[in-house]
Amino acid sequence: MCRVGCPTQNHRSYAECCRGLQLNSGEDRTFRQRAWDAELSAYRGAVAEGIQPDGTSMAKIDAAKKKSDALGVAYGG
pLDDT in tens, 31-65: 888 899 999 999 999 999 999 999 999 999 999 99
Residues 17 and 41: beta-carbon distance below 8 Å: no
- Do the domain assignments include residue 34? yes
Domain count of the fold of the chain: 1
Could you tell me if residue 27 is inside a domain? yes
Decide if 42 is inside a domain.
Answer: yes
Q: State pTM to two decimals.
A: 0.61
Residue of 58, 40, 60, 38 whose CA lies nearest to 48: 40
- Provide CB contacts within 8 A for 10, sequence distance 6+: 2
Structural domain that includes position 29: 14-71
| Degrees, nearest 5: CA angle 21-24-26 | 170
Cα separation, 44 vs 36, in Å, equals: 12
Mean pLDDT for 23-30 is 67
The verdict on residue 44 lying in a domain is yes
Q: Is the pLDDT of residue 19 over 70?
A: yes
In a domain, 5, yes or no: no
